[in-house]
Chains A and B, each alone.
Chain A
Amino acid sequence: MPYSYYPGCSLHSTGTAYDKSVRAVFHALGEDLIELEDWNCCGATIYMSNQETVALAISARNLALAEKLGHDLVVPCSACFTVLNKTRRFMEEMPTLRAQVNEALSVANLHPEYSVRVRHPLEVLINDFGVERLAQAARRTLEGFKLACYYGCQILRPERAVGDDPEVPMVLDRLMEAFGAHTVDFPAKTRCCGGMLITTFRKVALDLIGEILEWAVRGGANAIVTVCPLCQINLELYQDRLGPRTAEKVRLPVLFFTQLVGLALGCSPEEVGLEHQVVRVPPEYVTPVEVGNHD
Protein backbone atom coordinates (compact mmCIF):
# COMPACT_ATOMS: atom_id res chain seq x y z
CA MET A 1 0.00 0.00 0.00
CA PRO A 2 1.60 3.30 -1.03
CA TYR A 3 1.66 6.27 1.34
CA SER A 4 1.69 9.98 0.60
CA TYR A 5 4.45 11.83 2.39
CA TYR A 6 4.53 15.35 3.82
CA PRO A 7 8.09 16.10 5.02
CA GLY A 8 7.50 19.69 6.14
CA CYS A 9 10.08 22.49 6.18
CA SER A 10 12.28 21.13 8.98
CA LEU A 11 12.86 17.80 7.26
CA HIS A 12 14.17 19.67 4.22
CA SER A 13 16.75 21.50 6.35
CA THR A 14 17.71 21.00 10.00
CA GLY A 15 15.89 17.66 10.19
CA THR A 16 17.36 16.20 7.01
CA ALA A 17 18.42 13.03 8.86
CA TYR A 18 14.75 12.44 9.72
CA ASP A 19 13.81 12.79 6.03
CA LYS A 20 16.55 10.40 4.90
CA SER A 21 15.77 7.82 7.56
CA VAL A 22 11.98 7.84 7.09
CA ARG A 23 12.53 7.20 3.39
CA ALA A 24 15.15 4.53 4.14
CA VAL A 25 12.86 2.68 6.56
CA PHE A 26 9.88 2.64 4.18
CA HIS A 27 12.17 1.59 1.33
CA ALA A 28 13.61 -1.24 3.43
CA LEU A 29 10.07 -2.40 4.15
CA GLY A 30 9.23 -2.36 0.46
CA GLU A 31 6.69 0.45 0.62
CA ASP A 32 6.38 3.51 -1.61
CA LEU A 33 6.50 6.91 -0.01
CA ILE A 34 5.21 9.49 -2.48
CA GLU A 35 6.19 13.03 -1.54
CA LEU A 36 3.30 15.44 -1.90
CA GLU A 37 4.02 17.59 -4.92
CA ASP A 38 4.56 21.28 -4.20
CA TRP A 39 3.48 21.11 -0.55
CA ASN A 40 3.67 24.31 1.47
CA CYS A 41 4.55 25.04 5.10
CA CYS A 42 1.86 23.76 7.47
CA GLY A 43 1.85 27.14 9.24
CA ALA A 44 3.15 25.68 12.50
CA THR A 45 1.95 26.96 15.84
CA ILE A 46 3.22 30.46 15.03
CA TYR A 47 0.59 31.05 12.38
CA MET A 48 -2.18 29.32 14.32
CA SER A 49 -1.74 31.73 17.20
CA ASN A 50 -1.84 34.71 14.86
CA GLN A 51 -4.53 34.48 12.22
CA GLU A 52 -6.70 31.43 12.50
CA THR A 53 -8.52 31.42 9.15
CA VAL A 54 -5.27 32.03 7.29
CA ALA A 55 -3.50 29.31 9.28
CA LEU A 56 -6.24 26.80 8.56
CA ALA A 57 -6.35 27.73 4.88
CA ILE A 58 -2.63 27.25 4.20
CA SER A 59 -2.65 24.00 6.13
CA ALA A 60 -5.77 22.86 4.25
CA ARG A 61 -4.04 23.42 0.89
CA ASN A 62 -1.79 20.48 1.78
CA LEU A 63 -4.77 18.32 2.70
CA ALA A 64 -6.35 19.21 -0.64
CA LEU A 65 -3.17 18.19 -2.50
CA ALA A 66 -2.98 14.93 -0.55
CA GLU A 67 -6.58 14.17 -1.36
CA LYS A 68 -5.75 14.14 -5.07
CA LEU A 69 -3.33 11.26 -4.42
CA GLY A 70 -5.83 9.48 -2.21
CA HIS A 71 -3.42 7.61 0.10
CA ASP A 72 -2.89 8.07 3.83
CA LEU A 73 -0.59 11.01 4.53
CA VAL A 74 2.55 10.23 6.55
CA VAL A 75 3.75 13.26 8.56
CA PRO A 76 6.91 12.80 10.68
CA CYS A 77 7.21 16.28 12.27
CA SER A 78 5.13 16.47 15.44
CA ALA A 79 4.13 20.09 14.83
CA CYS A 80 3.05 19.45 11.22
CA PHE A 81 1.23 16.34 12.40
CA THR A 82 -0.71 18.31 15.00
CA VAL A 83 -1.49 21.26 12.73
CA LEU A 84 -2.68 19.10 9.80
CA ASN A 85 -4.79 16.89 12.06
CA LYS A 86 -6.19 19.87 13.90
CA THR A 87 -7.15 21.48 10.61
CA ARG A 88 -8.94 18.33 9.57
CA ARG A 89 -10.85 18.12 12.84
CA PHE A 90 -11.79 21.81 12.81
CA MET A 91 -13.11 21.37 9.28
CA GLU A 92 -15.16 18.36 10.36
CA GLU A 93 -16.65 20.00 13.42
CA MET A 94 -17.05 23.65 12.44
CA PRO A 95 -19.23 24.08 9.35
CA THR A 96 -18.97 27.89 9.28
CA LEU A 97 -15.20 27.87 9.51
CA ARG A 98 -15.05 25.14 6.88
CA ALA A 99 -17.11 27.23 4.48
CA GLN A 100 -14.74 30.16 4.99
CA VAL A 101 -11.59 28.08 4.53
CA ASN A 102 -13.04 26.41 1.43
CA GLU A 103 -13.94 29.80 0.03
CA ALA A 104 -10.32 30.88 0.42
CA LEU A 105 -9.09 27.64 -1.22
CA SER A 106 -11.50 27.98 -4.12
CA VAL A 107 -9.45 30.88 -5.51
CA ALA A 108 -6.83 28.22 -6.31
CA ASN A 109 -9.50 25.87 -7.60
CA LEU A 110 -9.12 23.51 -4.64
CA HIS A 111 -12.22 21.92 -3.12
CA PRO A 112 -11.15 19.50 -0.39
CA GLU A 113 -13.47 17.04 1.35
CA TYR A 114 -11.00 16.45 4.19
CA SER A 115 -11.06 12.71 3.67
CA VAL A 116 -7.32 11.97 3.90
CA ARG A 117 -6.00 10.38 7.08
CA VAL A 118 -3.02 12.18 8.60
CA ARG A 119 -0.70 9.67 10.29
CA HIS A 120 2.55 9.70 12.18
CA PRO A 121 5.19 7.22 10.93
CA LEU A 122 5.55 5.74 14.43
CA GLU A 123 1.89 4.78 14.38
CA VAL A 124 2.15 3.48 10.81
CA LEU A 125 5.08 1.24 11.73
CA ILE A 126 3.29 -0.09 14.80
CA ASN A 127 -0.14 -0.62 13.26
CA ASP A 128 0.45 -1.36 9.57
CA PHE A 129 3.61 -3.42 9.99
CA GLY A 130 3.60 -4.46 13.64
CA VAL A 131 6.47 -4.77 16.09
CA GLU A 132 6.75 -8.52 15.52
CA ARG A 133 7.15 -8.25 11.76
CA LEU A 134 9.65 -5.43 12.16
CA ALA A 135 11.68 -7.46 14.65
CA GLN A 136 11.70 -10.41 12.26
CA ALA A 137 13.00 -8.19 9.48
CA ALA A 138 15.87 -6.93 11.67
CA ARG A 139 19.40 -7.45 10.37
CA ARG A 140 21.29 -5.64 13.09
CA THR A 141 20.88 -5.55 16.85
CA LEU A 142 20.62 -2.21 18.67
CA GLU A 143 22.11 -3.65 21.86
CA GLY A 144 24.80 -0.93 21.90
CA PHE A 145 22.16 1.66 22.74
CA LYS A 146 20.82 2.53 26.18
CA LEU A 147 17.96 4.76 25.16
CA ALA A 148 15.91 7.44 26.84
CA CYS A 149 12.75 7.33 24.69
CA TYR A 150 11.49 10.88 24.37
CA TYR A 151 7.97 11.35 22.97
CA GLY A 152 7.62 15.09 23.54
CA CYS A 153 4.22 16.72 23.32
CA GLN A 154 2.44 16.80 20.09
CA ILE A 155 2.14 13.17 19.02
CA LEU A 156 0.38 12.50 22.32
CA ARG A 157 -1.43 15.79 22.89
CA PRO A 158 -3.94 16.99 21.84
CA GLU A 159 -4.32 14.56 18.92
CA ARG A 160 -3.17 11.12 19.88
CA ALA A 161 -1.02 9.69 17.11
CA VAL A 162 -0.69 6.34 18.80
CA GLY A 163 -3.34 4.66 20.93
CA ASP A 164 -1.05 4.74 23.92
CA ASP A 165 -1.29 6.28 27.38
CA PRO A 166 -0.58 10.00 26.94
CA GLU A 167 0.99 10.20 30.40
CA VAL A 168 3.27 7.14 30.33
CA PRO A 169 3.54 5.99 26.71
CA MET A 170 5.53 2.80 26.10
CA VAL A 171 5.08 2.13 22.39
CA LEU A 172 8.45 3.60 21.33
CA ASP A 173 10.20 1.82 24.22
CA ARG A 174 8.72 -1.50 23.11
CA LEU A 175 9.72 -0.93 19.49
CA MET A 176 13.31 -0.14 20.44
CA GLU A 177 13.47 -3.13 22.80
CA ALA A 178 12.23 -5.39 20.01
CA PHE A 179 15.45 -4.51 18.15
CA GLY A 180 17.59 -5.36 21.14
CA ALA A 181 18.11 -1.84 22.52
CA HIS A 182 18.03 -1.21 26.26
CA THR A 183 15.57 1.43 27.42
CA VAL A 184 16.07 3.38 30.61
CA ASP A 185 13.58 4.69 33.15
CA PHE A 186 12.86 8.18 31.87
CA PRO A 187 10.14 10.14 33.71
CA ALA A 188 10.62 13.18 31.44
CA LYS A 189 9.52 11.28 28.32
CA THR A 190 6.45 13.45 27.74
CA ARG A 191 7.78 16.74 29.14
CA CYS A 192 7.80 19.73 26.85
CA CYS A 193 11.16 20.74 25.25
CA GLY A 194 9.95 24.33 24.98
CA GLY A 195 9.48 24.24 21.21
CA MET A 196 9.74 27.72 19.74
CA LEU A 197 10.42 29.25 23.17
CA ILE A 198 14.12 28.71 22.42
CA THR A 199 13.75 31.71 20.11
CA THR A 200 11.24 33.83 22.03
CA PHE A 201 11.92 33.00 25.71
CA ARG A 202 15.38 31.42 25.58
CA LYS A 203 15.95 31.14 29.34
CA VAL A 204 12.65 29.35 29.90
CA ALA A 205 13.39 26.91 27.07
CA LEU A 206 16.88 26.18 28.45
CA ASP A 207 15.30 25.35 31.84
CA LEU A 208 13.00 22.82 30.20
CA ILE A 209 15.74 21.33 28.01
CA GLY A 210 18.13 21.05 30.97
CA GLU A 211 15.59 19.17 33.01
CA ILE A 212 14.87 16.62 30.28
CA LEU A 213 18.58 16.02 29.63
CA GLU A 214 19.29 15.62 33.31
CA TRP A 215 16.63 12.91 33.61
CA ALA A 216 18.19 11.08 30.67
CA VAL A 217 21.65 11.21 32.26
CA ARG A 218 20.30 10.16 35.63
CA GLY A 219 18.54 7.18 34.04
CA GLY A 220 21.85 5.97 32.61
CA ALA A 221 21.06 6.57 28.93
CA ASN A 222 23.82 6.76 26.33
CA ALA A 223 21.50 8.31 23.71
CA ILE A 224 18.09 9.92 23.39
CA VAL A 225 15.60 8.86 20.73
CA THR A 226 12.90 11.27 19.59
CA VAL A 227 10.08 11.66 17.04
CA CYS A 228 10.17 15.41 16.32
CA PRO A 229 12.67 17.66 14.51
CA LEU A 230 12.22 20.57 16.91
CA CYS A 231 12.67 18.36 19.99
CA GLN A 232 15.76 16.89 18.34
CA ILE A 233 17.32 20.29 17.73
CA ASN A 234 16.49 21.62 21.20
CA LEU A 235 17.85 18.56 22.97
CA GLU A 236 20.98 18.19 20.84
CA LEU A 237 22.17 21.72 20.13
CA TYR A 238 21.91 23.30 23.55
CA GLN A 239 23.67 20.62 25.60
CA ASP A 240 26.81 22.73 26.02
CA ARG A 241 24.83 25.96 26.36
CA LEU A 242 22.91 25.13 29.53
CA GLY A 243 25.18 26.94 32.00
CA PRO A 244 24.65 25.93 35.62
CA ARG A 245 21.30 24.28 34.87
CA THR A 246 22.71 20.76 34.90
CA ALA A 247 25.10 19.42 37.51
CA GLU A 248 27.13 17.39 35.03
CA LYS A 249 28.22 18.05 31.49
CA VAL A 250 25.80 16.43 29.09
CA ARG A 251 27.03 14.85 25.87
CA LEU A 252 24.31 12.59 24.50
CA PRO A 253 23.56 11.81 20.85
CA VAL A 254 19.92 12.62 20.03
CA LEU A 255 18.51 10.42 17.26
CA PHE A 256 15.28 10.16 15.33
CA PHE A 257 13.50 6.87 15.94
CA THR A 258 13.58 6.16 12.21
CA GLN A 259 17.38 6.35 12.22
CA LEU A 260 17.44 3.51 14.75
CA VAL A 261 14.71 1.51 13.01
CA GLY A 262 16.64 1.96 9.75
CA LEU A 263 19.88 0.73 11.31
CA ALA A 264 18.06 -2.26 12.75
CA LEU A 265 16.60 -3.06 9.33
CA GLY A 266 20.13 -3.15 7.91
CA CYS A 267 20.47 0.37 6.44
CA SER A 268 23.94 1.90 6.44
CA PRO A 269 24.75 4.81 8.80
CA GLU A 270 24.80 7.13 5.74
CA GLU A 271 21.38 5.94 4.58
CA VAL A 272 19.86 7.03 7.90
CA GLY A 273 21.83 10.29 7.96
CA LEU A 274 24.08 9.65 10.97
CA GLU A 275 26.62 12.11 9.50
CA HIS A 276 24.19 14.93 10.32
CA GLN A 277 24.50 14.48 14.09
CA VAL A 278 26.12 17.40 15.92
CA VAL A 279 26.77 15.10 18.88
CA ARG A 280 28.23 12.11 17.05
CA VAL A 281 27.15 8.53 17.69
CA PRO A 282 30.21 6.53 18.86
CA PRO A 283 30.87 3.96 16.10
CA GLU A 284 30.94 1.07 18.59
CA TYR A 285 27.20 1.58 19.26
CA VAL A 286 26.46 0.49 15.71
CA THR A 287 27.07 -3.23 15.38
CA PRO A 288 27.78 -4.89 12.01
CA VAL A 289 24.89 -6.14 9.90
CA GLU A 290 24.20 -9.80 10.58
CA VAL A 291 24.30 -11.92 7.45
CA GLY A 292 22.01 -14.85 6.89
CA ASN A 293 19.24 -13.41 9.04
CA HIS A 294 17.45 -12.04 6.04
CA ASP A 295 15.01 -13.96 3.93
Chain B
Amino acid sequence: MREKTVKYSSMLLNAQVSPGVLAKSERELREAFLEEVERIPGAERLHRCIQCGTCTGSCPVSYTMDISPRQVIALFRAGAIEQILRSRTIWVCASCYNCTVRCPSQIKITDLLYALKRLAMDRGIFPSKFPVYVLSETFAKMIKRYGRNHELGLIRSFYLRTQPLQLLRQSMVGLDLLKAGRMPLRPEKIRGQKELKAIIARAEQIERPQEPTGEKRGTDEVGYKAI
Protein backbone atom coordinates (compact mmCIF):
# COMPACT_ATOMS: atom_id res chain seq x y z
CA MET B 1 0.00 0.00 0.00
CA ARG B 2 2.60 2.49 1.13
CA GLU B 3 5.06 1.48 -1.58
CA LYS B 4 2.48 2.12 -4.25
CA THR B 5 1.83 5.63 -2.92
CA VAL B 6 5.51 6.47 -2.69
CA LYS B 7 5.98 5.37 -6.24
CA TYR B 8 3.07 7.49 -7.32
CA SER B 9 4.34 10.59 -5.55
CA SER B 10 7.81 10.26 -7.00
CA MET B 11 6.24 9.74 -10.41
CA LEU B 12 4.27 12.97 -10.05
CA LEU B 13 7.29 14.85 -8.81
CA ASN B 14 9.43 13.87 -11.74
CA ALA B 15 6.81 14.11 -14.43
CA GLN B 16 6.27 17.24 -16.45
CA VAL B 17 2.85 17.89 -14.98
CA SER B 18 2.87 21.55 -15.85
CA PRO B 19 4.18 23.50 -18.80
CA GLY B 20 7.81 24.27 -18.14
CA VAL B 21 9.74 23.36 -15.01
CA LEU B 22 8.20 23.80 -11.55
CA ALA B 23 9.52 26.69 -9.51
CA LYS B 24 11.62 25.64 -6.51
CA SER B 25 9.04 26.78 -3.96
CA GLU B 26 6.27 24.98 -5.85
CA ARG B 27 8.35 21.83 -6.02
CA GLU B 28 9.00 21.98 -2.31
CA LEU B 29 5.30 22.52 -1.51
CA ARG B 30 4.40 19.69 -3.81
CA GLU B 31 6.76 17.35 -2.00
CA ALA B 32 5.31 18.36 1.37
CA PHE B 33 1.75 17.91 0.10
CA LEU B 34 2.44 14.49 -1.38
CA GLU B 35 4.04 13.46 1.88
CA GLU B 36 0.79 14.41 3.62
CA VAL B 37 -1.22 12.58 0.96
CA GLU B 38 0.69 9.39 1.65
CA ARG B 39 -0.77 9.41 5.14
CA ILE B 40 -4.39 9.28 3.95
CA PRO B 41 -5.78 5.86 2.98
CA GLY B 42 -6.77 5.84 -0.68
CA ALA B 43 -5.74 9.43 -1.30
CA GLU B 44 -3.53 8.44 -4.23
CA ARG B 45 -6.75 8.18 -6.24
CA LEU B 46 -6.26 11.91 -6.73
CA HIS B 47 -4.91 11.18 -10.21
CA ARG B 48 -8.25 9.67 -11.26
CA CYS B 49 -10.10 13.02 -11.23
CA ILE B 50 -12.15 13.47 -14.41
CA GLN B 51 -12.98 17.12 -13.65
CA CYS B 52 -16.72 16.41 -13.69
CA GLY B 53 -17.49 18.99 -10.97
CA THR B 54 -19.72 16.72 -8.86
CA CYS B 55 -17.71 17.86 -5.81
CA THR B 56 -18.39 21.53 -6.48
CA GLY B 57 -22.06 20.89 -7.22
CA SER B 58 -22.45 18.87 -4.00
CA CYS B 59 -20.61 21.31 -1.75
CA PRO B 60 -22.97 23.39 0.43
CA VAL B 61 -20.37 26.16 0.77
CA SER B 62 -18.84 26.26 -2.72
CA TYR B 63 -20.85 29.44 -3.35
CA THR B 64 -18.60 31.23 -0.91
CA MET B 65 -15.28 29.77 -2.09
CA ASP B 66 -12.79 31.60 -4.31
CA ILE B 67 -11.61 28.35 -5.92
CA SER B 68 -14.09 25.48 -6.30
CA PRO B 69 -13.17 21.97 -5.10
CA ARG B 70 -12.87 20.85 -8.74
CA GLN B 71 -10.49 23.72 -9.43
CA VAL B 72 -8.37 22.73 -6.43
CA ILE B 73 -7.51 19.47 -8.18
CA ALA B 74 -7.02 21.21 -11.54
CA LEU B 75 -4.66 23.72 -9.95
CA PHE B 76 -2.73 20.98 -8.22
CA ARG B 77 -2.21 19.30 -11.59
CA ALA B 78 -1.20 22.58 -13.17
CA GLY B 79 1.50 23.00 -10.54
CA ALA B 80 -0.11 25.84 -8.60
CA ILE B 81 -0.31 24.57 -5.02
CA GLU B 82 0.75 27.94 -3.71
CA GLN B 83 -2.40 29.47 -5.22
CA ILE B 84 -4.54 26.84 -3.48
CA LEU B 85 -2.86 27.53 -0.16
CA ARG B 86 -3.66 31.22 -0.49
CA SER B 87 -7.35 30.53 -1.09
CA ARG B 88 -10.31 30.81 1.29
CA THR B 89 -11.54 27.45 0.01
CA ILE B 90 -9.41 25.25 2.27
CA TRP B 91 -10.69 27.03 5.39
CA VAL B 92 -14.40 27.28 4.65
CA CYS B 93 -14.87 23.53 4.14
CA ALA B 94 -17.28 22.37 6.87
CA SER B 95 -16.25 18.67 6.67
CA CYS B 96 -19.69 17.50 5.50
CA TYR B 97 -18.07 14.87 3.23
CA ASN B 98 -20.71 15.27 0.51
CA CYS B 99 -18.00 15.60 -2.17
CA THR B 100 -16.18 12.54 -0.86
CA VAL B 101 -19.17 10.18 -0.94
CA ARG B 102 -20.40 11.43 -4.31
CA CYS B 103 -17.09 11.53 -6.21
CA PRO B 104 -17.36 9.04 -9.11
CA SER B 105 -13.60 8.51 -8.91
CA GLN B 106 -13.76 7.96 -5.14
CA ILE B 107 -11.33 10.75 -4.39
CA LYS B 108 -11.14 11.71 -0.71
CA ILE B 109 -11.61 15.39 -1.34
CA THR B 110 -12.37 16.35 2.27
CA ASP B 111 -9.20 14.63 3.49
CA LEU B 112 -7.18 16.28 0.71
CA LEU B 113 -8.49 19.67 1.81
CA TYR B 114 -7.45 18.79 5.37
CA ALA B 115 -3.96 18.02 4.09
CA LEU B 116 -3.81 21.37 2.28
CA LYS B 117 -5.11 23.14 5.36
CA ARG B 118 -2.43 21.50 7.50
CA LEU B 119 0.20 22.63 5.00
CA ALA B 120 -1.07 26.24 5.03
CA MET B 121 -1.33 26.16 8.82
CA ASP B 122 2.19 24.81 9.10
CA ARG B 123 3.63 27.53 6.85
CA GLY B 124 1.66 30.37 8.42
CA ILE B 125 -0.21 31.10 5.17
CA PHE B 126 -3.31 32.78 6.62
CA PRO B 127 -4.25 36.32 7.69
CA SER B 128 -3.30 37.54 11.14
CA LYS B 129 -5.96 36.92 13.84
CA PHE B 130 -7.45 34.37 11.48
CA PRO B 131 -10.46 32.76 13.27
CA VAL B 132 -9.78 29.23 12.00
CA TYR B 133 -6.19 29.32 13.21
CA VAL B 134 -7.00 30.96 16.54
CA LEU B 135 -9.82 28.50 17.22
CA SER B 136 -7.67 25.51 16.44
CA GLU B 137 -4.81 26.80 18.58
CA THR B 138 -7.08 27.69 21.51
CA PHE B 139 -8.74 24.29 21.26
CA ALA B 140 -5.41 22.45 21.25
CA LYS B 141 -4.27 24.36 24.35
CA MET B 142 -7.49 23.47 26.14
CA ILE B 143 -7.15 19.77 25.38
CA LYS B 144 -3.56 19.80 26.63
CA ARG B 145 -4.62 21.49 29.84
CA TYR B 146 -7.83 19.64 30.70
CA GLY B 147 -8.15 16.68 28.35
CA ARG B 148 -11.67 17.80 27.51
CA ASN B 149 -13.17 20.76 25.74
CA HIS B 150 -14.74 23.47 27.87
CA GLU B 151 -17.06 25.29 25.50
CA LEU B 152 -17.45 28.46 27.54
CA GLY B 153 -13.70 28.87 27.98
CA LEU B 154 -13.01 28.08 24.33
CA ILE B 155 -15.52 30.55 22.94
CA ARG B 156 -14.55 33.28 25.40
CA SER B 157 -10.85 33.23 24.61
CA PHE B 158 -11.57 32.74 20.91
CA TYR B 159 -13.66 35.92 20.66
CA LEU B 160 -11.29 37.89 22.90
CA ARG B 161 -8.45 37.09 20.51
CA THR B 162 -10.31 37.59 17.22
CA GLN B 163 -13.35 39.86 17.52
CA PRO B 164 -13.69 41.17 21.11
CA LEU B 165 -16.65 43.34 20.12
CA GLN B 166 -18.60 40.25 19.12
CA LEU B 167 -18.25 38.82 22.60
CA LEU B 168 -21.40 40.59 23.71
CA ARG B 169 -23.52 39.20 20.85
CA GLN B 170 -22.13 35.77 21.56
CA SER B 171 -22.86 36.19 25.28
CA MET B 172 -26.56 36.34 24.44
CA VAL B 173 -26.29 32.85 22.94
CA GLY B 174 -24.35 31.77 26.02
CA LEU B 175 -27.06 33.21 28.25
CA ASP B 176 -29.72 31.14 26.47
CA LEU B 177 -27.64 28.05 27.18
CA LEU B 178 -26.93 29.05 30.76
CA LYS B 179 -30.64 29.51 31.47
CA ALA B 180 -31.35 26.10 29.98
CA GLY B 181 -28.73 24.50 32.27
CA ARG B 182 -26.41 23.71 29.37
CA MET B 183 -23.36 25.85 30.09
CA PRO B 184 -21.11 24.53 32.86
CA LEU B 185 -18.95 27.36 34.17
CA ARG B 186 -16.05 25.16 35.21
CA PRO B 187 -14.00 22.90 32.94
CA GLU B 188 -13.85 19.14 33.52
CA LYS B 189 -10.34 17.82 33.92
CA ILE B 190 -9.44 14.21 33.32
CA ARG B 191 -7.37 12.26 35.86
CA GLY B 192 -5.01 11.00 33.20
CA GLN B 193 -4.05 14.51 32.17
CA LYS B 194 -0.30 13.98 32.59
CA GLU B 195 -0.57 10.78 30.61
CA LEU B 196 -2.45 12.50 27.80
CA LYS B 197 0.04 15.36 27.75
CA ALA B 198 2.87 12.86 27.38
CA ILE B 199 1.05 11.15 24.50
CA ILE B 200 0.55 14.49 22.75
CA ALA B 201 4.16 15.52 23.28
CA ARG B 202 5.44 12.26 21.80
CA ALA B 203 3.02 12.48 18.85
CA GLU B 204 4.08 16.06 18.18
CA GLN B 205 7.67 14.96 18.15
CA ILE B 206 6.85 12.23 15.63
CA GLU B 207 4.79 14.60 13.49
CA ARG B 208 7.43 17.34 13.38
CA PRO B 209 10.90 16.08 14.16
CA GLN B 210 12.29 19.64 13.84
CA GLU B 211 11.49 22.41 16.27
CA PRO B 212 8.60 24.58 15.04
CA THR B 213 9.67 28.00 13.81
CA GLY B 214 8.29 30.23 16.54
CA GLU B 215 4.91 31.92 16.84
CA LYS B 216 2.86 32.00 13.65
CA ARG B 217 1.59 35.47 12.89
CA GLY B 218 0.05 35.00 9.48
CA THR B 219 0.49 36.94 6.29
CA ASP B 220 -1.44 39.54 4.33
CA GLU B 221 -0.61 37.89 1.03
CA VAL B 222 -3.74 35.80 0.75
CA GLY B 223 -6.69 36.15 -1.57
CA TYR B 224 -9.34 36.70 1.14
CA LYS B 225 -10.06 38.59 4.36
CA ALA B 226 -9.75 37.15 7.86
CA ILE B 227 -13.46 37.53 8.63
A residues less than 8 Å from B190 (CB atoms): 38-40
Q: What's the Cα separation between A194 and B118 when bound, in Å? A: 20
Say if the beta carbon of B48 comes within 8 Å of chain A. Answer: no
Instruction: Tell me whether A292 is interfacial, beta carbon within 8 Å.
Output: no
**Cα(A281)–Cα(B64), bound, Å:** 35
> Is B220 close to A, CB under 8 A?
no
Give A3-61 interface residues, CB cut-off 8 Å to B: 9-10, 12-17, 38-41, 43-54, 56-58, 61
Chain B 25-56, CB within 8 Å of chain A: the 1/0 string? 00000000000100101100000000000000
B202: Cβ under 8 A from any A Cβ: yes
A153-B95, A204-B64 given; A43·B155 CB < 8 A: no
Chain A residue numbers with a CB within 8 Å of B117 are: 49
Q: B207: which A residues are within 8 A, CB to CB?
A: 51-54
Given contacts A93-B1, A95-B2, A197-B61, are A153 and B98 in contact (CB under 8 A)?
yes
Q: Is the CB of A237 within 8 A of B149?
A: no
User: A108: nearest residue on chain B (CB-CB)?
Assistant: B195
Minimum C-beta distance from A36 to chain B (A): 11
Task: Evaluate contact between A192 and B94: CB separation under 8 angstroms.
Answer: yes
- Contacts of B168-226 to chain A: CB distance below 8 A: 173, 176-177, 179-184, 188, 190-192, 195-196, 198-200, 202-204, 206-207
B: interface residue count bin:
35 or more
Contacts of A53 in B (CB 8 A): 203-204, 206-207
Q: Is the interface of A mostly helix, strand, loop or mixed?
A: helix
B114 within 8 A of A: yes
State which size class the interface on A falls in.
35 or more
Cβ-defined contact, A104 with B206, below 8 A: yes
Residues of chain A lying within 8 A (CB to CB) of residue B92: 197, 201, 204
Bound state CA distance, A45 and B92, in angstroms? 13
Among the 9-residue stretches A136-144, A216-224, A272-280, the one with 4 or more Cβ atoms under 8 Å from chain B is: A272-280
Q: Is the CB of B148 within 8 A of A9?
A: yes
A-B contacts, CB under 8 A, total = 197
Which residues of B does A touch, CB under 8 Å? 1-2, 36, 39, 41-42, 60-61, 64, 91-92, 94-98, 100-101, 108, 110, 114, 117-118, 121, 131-132, 135-136, 139-140, 143, 147-152, 155, 158, 173, 176-177, 179-184, 188, 190-192, 195-196, 198-200, 202-204, 206-207
Interface residues of A (CB under 8 A from B): 9-10, 12-17, 38-41, 43-54, 56-58, 61, 89-90, 93-97, 100-101, 103-105, 107-108, 110, 153-154, 156-158, 166, 191-192, 194-197, 199-201, 204-205, 208, 237-238, 241, 275-278
User: What would be 23 A-B contacts, judged by CB atoms less than 8 Å apart?
Assistant: A9-B150, A9-B188, A13-B150, A46-B139, A54-B207, A57-B200, A94-B39, A94-B41, A96-B39, A103-B206, A105-B199, A107-B198, A154-B95, A156-B101, A191-B60, A192-B61, A194-B60, A195-B94, A196-B135, A199-B155, A201-B131, A237-B176, A237-B177
